[in-house]
Amino acid sequence: MKKQIKHHSITVVVVLAILALGAGIFVYSGVYNIGADDPHTRPVFALMQVVRNRSIHLRSKDIQVPNLQDPQLILKGAGQYAAMCTGCHLRPGMKNSEIRPGLYPQPPDLAQTHVDPKVAFWVIKHGIKMSAMPAWGFSHDDDTIWSMVAFLEKLPGMTPQEYQAIVAKAPPDDDMDSGDAENHEHGHPPTSKPVSPEHMPGMGGNPHGHGPAAGQR
């Protein structure tokens, strides 16, 4: 009897060793196609979806959602969205972008898709590994991220005209391409006026194109 158990354990160890070796050879050989134009197999995709969804759920379920109906917050979010998100997530009336077809996973069309506010806040702040979704929390405070979430609550179903109107009214965003996007802070309140040069000592000009730096790109 004892001998038999010993025999079994040796078999188990040998099988595990062969599996580990096989996995090592598979990984190291390079046969796995890492290309973004080669979709995952169904089981791999299903597994990744569960990992993603459970991970986000665990981390976002206790987030306190502020008042997302504040018109100033929504307006600020419109400017943020127009400046940073449409290339990947589109806007009303936009069918596709140059970057979007090549991204895998494909970014959802947020002009058509509603996302739970807690999930949206967490994903915008922290990003998603191995996808193109950046962690905007490195460069944006929580208030600014909530403004984006507030805007996303209104976005699905907006007409292109409504979208253009709200973006036109939005406060100028620090991230709008002005040639010095890296040095901005986002500590100002949601109702902030356009950033003036005094707020940015030594930056040599107004980032919104009215001052001496206009035209610097």
CB 77 within 8 A of CB 69: no
State the binding string over 100-129 for ligand HEC (x if CB under 6 A, else -): ---x-x-xx------x---xx--xx---x-
Cβ closest to ligand HEC, residue 15 vs residue 99: 99
Virtual CA dihedral for 37, 41, 46, 49, nearest 10 degrees? -20
Cβ closest to ligand HEC, residue 136 vs residue 146: 136
Length of the chain: 217
**135 sits near ligand HEC (criterion: CB under 6 A):** no
**188 sits near ligand HEC (criterion: CB under 6 A):** no
What is the Cα–Cα distance from 59 to 56, expressed in whole angstroms? 5
Count H helices and E strands in the chain, helices first: 7, 0
Min CB(193)–ligand HEC separation in Å? 21
Report how far Cα 38 is from the mean position of its chain's Cα atoms.
22
State the binding string over 51-70 for ligand HEC (x if CB under 6 A, else -): -x------------------
Question: Interacting stretch for ligand HEC, rule CB under 6 A, among 13-21, 79-87, 187-195, 199-207?
Answer: 79-87
Backbone angles phi, psi at 39, to 5 degrees: -60, 155
Two tokens at 11? 């078999």
Min CB(139)–ligand HEC separation in Å? 10
Count of residues that interact with ligand HEC, criterion CB under 6 A: 22
